[in-house]
Structure 1
């Protein structure tokens, strides 16, 4: 039996999920939580096999923060993000936080059930279009790498700015951490984007992940 904790701020969503999952012979919802704080407490007490984690919860901790904290305390816990955000930035942040899978709320029931069973047995699961985007991005990066990776052309300071930006730090926070001005941070960031041929922050995050720059202490 796969035991499941549902963490979502909408009571109707939790109710619908409970009915769907408890209707499966091999699945059992053992608890619900309405925010990240409640979810962490319930997971620590009940030790479910899988946590279904919403990302956007206005009260208490959000799903990303809760996922990161739970993975620190329960590394073996399988966390499956269930969200409305079909967005590369949320996807990569969820993966980095430790989520084993990422499914959209408008996905067919069969996909959600497959995802739950996949992460419960230790596999990863991404919804199909996300997998395709990741594969396409990988192919594009490989093609660019054939002419040489320009990462080595970045200065040490530019590499620091790249890493901190990808981790979500604002310009002011980066400036304070590196003891430089905000204007200097903006200049470094502009140079990094130009040298790497990147146009958006999600592209920067994906590049940083590929280079192994998103290791948090």
Structure 2
């Protein structure tokens, strides 16, 4: 069954190009194109696509405000990817905290955008690796070390180990290998961590860990060589699986 995609961008030529890229994949189907954020909110509510790709700069309602309304809907199941040329930290930070599944630059190669749709649709979260490294370094360096949050006391020792590895952008397979446990056990630990800390997804777990100084930005920000290889030999955004 094809993944249903909504595109929102006020540049018709860019939308056409992105639709053509998505059209190269048999399992992706563009069900709507809109030119402003308000239309994105309305069409998402009407069509319920699997993934909405939203540009930040749009008329009537900007992409971040549109994403916030989409994600706040009680019955929403659509995953949101924020797509922009404006790689400013404040945009990334706001997108992550409202629950967006990803943040990609418009300059990303086509295969990265295709990979981002698949990653978001399956419930994982991603950020362009270069944006991740800069955001975490700046964010962690701009805050004072807080007192240890009391909710961390709810985690078991093993869950704490998994959280620290999760915050370093390790996949479930990597965490399982490091701790000597099975992939399914890791998935169970991750679900319990998110529930106990009241986090939406794995991206918020990274922000949480960094904001509470559980890991340092130098540890969390992976070097470029650690990003996963794309289907055409390029590097895909690192998913938090």
TM-score (norm 1): 0.63
Larger Rg: 1
Classify the secondary structure of the residue corresponding to 1:103.
Answer: strand
The CA RMSD over aligned residues, in Å, is 2.6
Q: Which residue of 1 aligns with 2:86?
A: 85
Q: How does 1:115-126 map to 2 (within 5 A)?
A: 115-126=116-127
Question: 1 or 2, which has the higher helix percentage?
Answer: 1
Query: Aligned partners of 1:56, 1:135: CA distance in 2, in Å?
Result: 23
Per-residue deviation, residues 39-80 of structure 1 (Å, max 9, x unmatched):
1111111110000000001x2111111111111114421000
Q: How does 1:86-105 map to 2 (within 5 A)?
A: 86-105=87-106
Query: Aligned partners of 1:137, 1:89: CA distance in 2, in Å?
Result: 11
Query: Aligned partners of 1:106, 1:128: CA distance in 2, in Å?
Result: 13
**Relative contact order (C-alpha < 8 Å, sep 6+): which is higher?**
2
Displacement of 1:133 after TM fit? 2.4
Q: Which residue of 2 aligns with 1:111?
A: 112
Query: Aligned partners of 1:12, 1:139: CA distance in 2, in Å?
Result: 38
Native 8 Å contact 2:54 2:82 kept in 1: yes
Q: Which residue of 2 aligns with 1:41?
A: 42
Query: Aligned partners of 1:135, 1:97: CA distance in 2, in Å?
Result: 17
Classify the secondary structure of the residue corresponding to 1:107.
Answer: coil
Displacement of 1:126 after TM fit? 0.2
Unaligned runs of 5+ in 2: 149-206, 213-241
Displacement of 1:135 after TM fit? 4.5
1:66 and 2:66 equivalent?
A: yes
Q: Structure 1: which 4+ aligned runs deviate by more than 2 Å?
A: 133-142
Displacement of 1:129 after TM fit? 0.7
Displacement of 1:87 after TM fit? 1.1
The aligned length equals 151
Displacement of 1:25 after TM fit? 1.2
Unaligned runs of 5+ in 1: 152-205, 212-217
In 2 relative to 1, CA 23–136 (structure 1 residues): closer, same or farther, beyond 3 Å? same
Query: Aligned partners of 2:76, 2:50: CA distance in 1, in Å?
Result: 12
